[in-house]
Amino acid sequence: MPNPTAAMLVIGDEILSGRTRDANMHHLAGRLTTHGIDLREVRVVSDDETAIILAVRDLSDKFDHVFTSGGIGPTHDDITADCVARAMNTPIDVRDDARAILQAHYDRAGTDLNEARLRMARIPGGATLIDNPISAAPGFMLENIYVMAGVPAIFEAMLASILPTLTGGAPLLSQTLRIQRGEGDIAGPLKTLSEQYKDLAFGSYPYQKDGAYGANIVIRGTDKARLDAAMVELNQLFPE
């Protein structure tokens, strides 16, 4: 059986403007690879209602899981929860269990649960809360969509809480061979080898450092025996 598939939707003008470097994609990709879920697409959209809704619907239809990051805070531009609710045609309102979590958190901190903070308790109907052990404000799961914070530490904590609940497949394995030849020299033999191992993925990544140049050939797959066999042939094609 093929591994489950996933997509990530990164939401926020700050990412597209270059003001903030996204770290969540790298973390998600690594964790999903280990868990046996294939991350197939990452999409970045602005804080625009129509763009978010269309992206959520499209990715939800195409993939088994959709992970979002960003846009669930207390400010006016945090519109992800509302957009996901609209995309999935479900109402959204302050929910008692989410309110109670926030109330307890702000009571401990000696801070008021004001109107702005209460926005973080607005949860679409039918959604399941995702625990946030860092700042309390929960994310949520609605159908196959997992809505999480953009702050990396919080995103990582939320992901850690939901990954054990997801059924994965075989972890993706990889092996690498560094070849000190130009890609133009290795392209033909590498293509022939990849055609013999259609169940594996071959990638060529050029490097140049301190006057040396070449390519790192990476082979990925879920079958270790096949991966080992392909690496033996790769080494025979390009001996050191």
- Residue 31 is part of a domain; what is its CATH number? 3.40.980.10
- Of 122, 149, 165, which residue sits at a domain end? 165
- Residue 215 is part of a domain; what is its CATH number? 3.30.70
Distance, in Å, from the CA atom of 155 to the CA atom of 134, rounded to the nearest integer, reads: 10
Domain span holding position 211: 173-237
Predicted confidence (pLDDT) at residue 62 exceeds the cutoff of 90: yes
Q: Are 119 and 82 members of one domain?
A: yes
Distance, in Å, from the CA atom of 230 to the CA atom of 221, rounded to the nearest integer, reads: 10
Structure tokens at 150: 């953009």
What is the band of 85 on the pLDDT scale with cuts at 50, 70, 90?
Answer: very high
pLDDT digit string, tens, across residues 104-142: 999 999 999 999 999 999 999 999 999 999 999 999 999
| Number of domains comprising the chain | 2
The pTM (predicted TM-score) of the whole model is: 0.86
CA 147 to chain centre: 11
Distance, in Å, from the CA atom of 12 to the CA atom of 124, rounded to the nearest integer, reads: 20
Q: Are 158 and 97 members of one domain?
A: yes
104 three-class SS: helix
Pairing of strands 5-11, 65-69: parallel
pLDDT of residue 236: 93
pLDDT of residue 68: 98
Q: Are 144 and 179 members of one domain?
A: no
Helix and strand numbers (H, E) in the chain are 9, 11
Closest CA to 185 of 204, 202, 198: 204
Q: Are 177 and 231 members of one domain?
A: yes
pLDDT of residue 42: 97
